[in-house]
Structure 1
């Protein structure tokens, strides 16, 4: 019995010594009492971001070193916040174990827009540095914040499908039937085109079939965007007489141009789709999936088709004497089901995903 008691006492003593030793190893590091500052840039500095140089350095930050009273690795985090919110919802931008950081034009522009700044308009964001160390129970410290002025640019314009509506179109004023799409530029989402037949009295553009907003129309010589149905209804893009017109619109710059079309009006008996998108292999190039010709404009064609990932072209009259692709080459398509639209006047096409 005495032996068991002695062993118990020894275990208790050893456990106590181990606990005390580990408590001594738990270093609670506190940063210096004095505030630390951002050295560059100065508060109130201004930067206009240039979309043509996205990889250039837009902002170089340097700051004072923070001491935790013992040699240790300090991690610094650059944080942005909406101005005058006292960093209620800070956004971490980048981290460094040094006392400097650089941010590219594209990175800074994306964060500026994320924090609510408007493209083309100077706004402000608040910046601070947060210091931390990896030791358990260490205390973070934040720098004195600064405010900087930024003028962001609009990032990559989103892909928007636009459909014709109005007395000059096949749909009339219906937003639920016969609404033909216009054709997005394959490289610049903000630019869209349409060449085709219009009745007189003009047209507008809607983003979603069945809804009057978002929509685009005119306000004098400029494009007017209608975000909701409670917004002011814009005017029509003008077609003063029935005939063929070429129309261009830039959704980013809110500009447009419409002119009478004076090019050839060759009429084709059939337009078909051919390519590996139909079969998943080269046998699809020998096929002809017919498109349906518009009764309103004989140069507009449509077919709804499930495609495999691959390549395709449009063919006239079932042969290869006249065909259209992507600048003469094949059109690359991702797998899916699409409403496929084609305009034989200018060779433009649209693939609109459909259930």
Structure 2
């Protein structure tokens, strides 16, 4: 009896394997019958994406079932996009699913349309299609119709200029940056250690900073006139500066500044600053050790009030801005102070207990 059972089991296993293999072979040679259509959205629909609502739907799609005949099998769909006019020469797969519908959040769609070449805050057009396939090794694929979708993406990155010069070996890719106040603005600003000649270099279309891009310098009068043709190197003696440049108004400036911490929380109160020292390795301003007590304080430039160098408020995004007072509420003791102005218009500080 035992041998009979084993023989039956072996035959059953072999039969199942044969059927499975046969099914897989059948899937490999399935071919699409007819075509399938995207149902929603319709060609020409549009969306404006917003950084304040990243999880809102950016694209909701549905489409018909692809037809592979009467053989029951699961169909895989890939939603592909490309910039209109690029003819899907290098499509981006937005998502893969076995459903006939998807919802893509605004933040995911925003990143995707940047990848295929759309410009922030400017409406652009992408083409969308759905690719279907079946089987482990994918049968002959089938494509839906193509629709256009108009997208206005956003950017949370501030536009920047590189500042190559004698201070860092005249190398734009590794040069410090200055940033404008918002996308579309040209009021670039930042803090940079300078030492001799320097220039301002704009990014290329891909966001890279290199010689051969548009670059700006002084008009030769050294009176703060910024030009892109016939320019000469700007120049500054060795030191730490608040650097400004505006290609629209054609102006630039470099204001030397030394920073300190002042306030009731510091050893000298509101009477005088304790100076921060520039660290060329970290590009940050530091005090190795200072005794702090609970109380108000702020960062002040050039040991004076009302000179435009006053950082005492943290905004809703967590960055230091002008005006107001900060509060130290930790335990009294020695602390390392770090003021980081190396990320333009994204200024931060740290108080680290020793």
- Normalised TM-score (structure 1): 0.51
CA distance in 2, matches of 1:317, 1:137: 69
Of 5, 19, 22 in structure 1, the residue corresponding to residue 17 of structure 2 is: 22
CA shift in 2, pair 1:106/1:187, >3 Å: same
CA shift in 2, pair 1:74/1:156, >3 Å: same
Structure-1 residue corresponding to 2:59: 59
Summarize deviations over 1:59-81 as a string: whole Å, max 9, x none. Answer: 33221112453555544331223
CA distance in 1, matches of 2:45, 2:245: 33
Contact 1:213 1:227 in 2 (8 A): no
CA distance in 2, matches of 1:142, 1:337: 62
CA distance in 2, matches of 1:193, 1:148: 36
Structure-2 residue corresponding to 1:99: 100
Determine helix, strand or coil for the equivalent of 1:36: coil
Determine helix, strand or coil for the equivalent of 1:111: helix
CA shift in 2, pair 1:236/1:89, >3 Å: same
Any residues of structure 2 matched to 1:4-83 within 5 Å, and which?
14-26=9-21, 27-28=23-24, 29=27, 30=30, 32-43=32-43, 45=44, 47=46, 49-51=48-50, 54-55=53-54, 56-68=56-68, 69=70, 73-83=74-84
Shift of 1:214: 5.5
Structure-2 residue corresponding to 1:325: 312
CA shift in 2, pair 1:96/1:285, >3 Å: farther
Structure-1 residue corresponding to 2:332: none
Any residues of structure 2 matched to 1:1-355 within 5 Å, and which?
14-26=9-21, 27-28=23-24, 29=27, 30=30, 32-43=32-43, 45=44, 47=46, 49-51=48-50, 54-55=53-54, 56-68=56-68, 69=70, 73-83=74-84, 87=88, 89-119=90-120, 123-132=124-133, 136=136, 139=139, 141-148=141-148, 150=150, 152-158=152-158, 160=160, 215=201, 228-231=210-213, 233-234=215-216, 236=218, 255-256=248-249, 272-273=260-261, 286=267, 289-291=274-276, 303-304=285-286, 313-314=298-299, 324-326=311-313, 327-330=323-326, 350=347
Summarize deviations over 1:299-329 as a string: whole Å, max 9, x none. Answer: xxx945579xxx97326899xxx98422524
Contact 1:59 1:103 in 2 (8 A): yes
Determine helix, strand or coil for the equivalent of 2:119: coil
Contact 1:117 1:123 in 2 (8 A): yes
**RMSD of aligned C-alpha atoms?**
6.1
Summarize deviations over 1:235-276 as a string: whole Å, max 9, x none. Answer: 64899969xxx99768xxx7458699xxxxxxx9x953379x
Summarize deviations over 1:108-163 as a string: whole Å, max 9, x none. Answer: 33212211233465654332213356x64563743234152535445122574765
Contact 1:175 1:211 in 2 (8 A): no
Contact 2:163 2:199 in 1 (8 A): no
Structure-2 residue corresponding to 1:198: none
CA shift in 2, pair 1:323/1:57, >3 Å: closer
- Normalised TM-score (structure 2): 0.51
Gaps of 5+ in 1: 1-5, 166-170, 196-204, 217-224, 261-267, 276-283, 294-301, 343-347
Gaps of 5+ in 2: 225-241, 279-283, 290-295, 304-308, 314-322, 329-335, 350-354
